[in-house]
Amino acid sequence: MDNERLQKQMEFCRLIDAEKLIGRQTYLADASRKENDAEHAWHMAVMTLLLSEYSNEEIDVLKTVSMLLIHDLVEIYAGDTYAYDEEAKKTQKERELAAADRLFGVLPKDQEEKLRGLWEEFEAVESAEAKFARTMDNIQPLMLNCASDGRSWEEKQVKLSQILGRNERTKDGSEELWNFAYNHFIRPHVDKGHIKEDVKYQA
């Protein structure tokens, strides 16, 4: 007997394999190559298991991990939008909404609503889980940029004001993790000249 529900679920599982092909601008810690979206999602999920104790608010860890595992799946169709590409960011929301319709629509209706809801919750950054997930999404690349000796920052000639703008809400999920990230991942590379210090800031 043909199981339509299982067919849809398996089709979705097959489709999301393409996340492994979506390249990001962040280098791996050893700077040998740039990471992909699937690696990024896995890394943040494990980080959440370890670092959730630093959340400003109590969070549902499984929900947060689920959010992080699916939040970039839309990039299979929308592509990755580099954090400091202002031109691409103008169309990002429109592209990602269309991609969400296309991707999550493959699933059975109940699971489409569940995963689409998690994606929308992440984008809204209002719940405690979404705030912490966004913190992870911002801190993971900071950690890797630091580990790779600021390679991406230097290549892109990134300014401190850009990093601070990108991380404007990172502290909303965890002030402790933001302060650590600034003092241990960002500040040393400002001092080394890998990040252009165009503003003054102290965490």
Distance separating alpha carbons of residues 1 and 70, to the nearest angstrom: 31
- What confidence score (pLDDT) does residue 2 get? 67
Low-confidence ranges of the chain (pLDDT < 50): 1
Q: What's the alpha-carbon Rg for the chain, to the nearest Å?
A: 18
Sequence-distant (6+) residues with CB within 8 A of 109 are none
Is residue 128 a contact partner of residue 58, using CB atoms and an 8 Å limit? yes
- Smallest CA-to-CA distance from 173 within 128, 203, 142, 143 is with 128
CA distances from 150 to 43, 87, 178, 180, 183 (A): 19, 24, 18, 17, 14
Residue from 79, 122, 74 nearest 101 by CA = 74
Q: Are 174 and 56 in contact (CB under 8 A)?
A: yes
Q: Give the distance, in angstroms, between the CA of residue 72 and the centroid of all CA atoms in the same chain.
A: 7
Q: What is the model's pLDDT at position 149?
A: 96
Please tell me the pTM assigned to this model. Answer: 0.93
DSSP type of residue 126: -
- Rounded-to-integer distance, Cα 38 and Cα 36, Å: 6
Please give the pLDDT value at position 202: 87
Q: Quick one: pLDDT at residue 141?
A: 97
Task: Supply the pLDDT for residue 85.
Answer: 75
Find all residues with CB under 8 Å of 18, minimum gap 6, and list them.
76
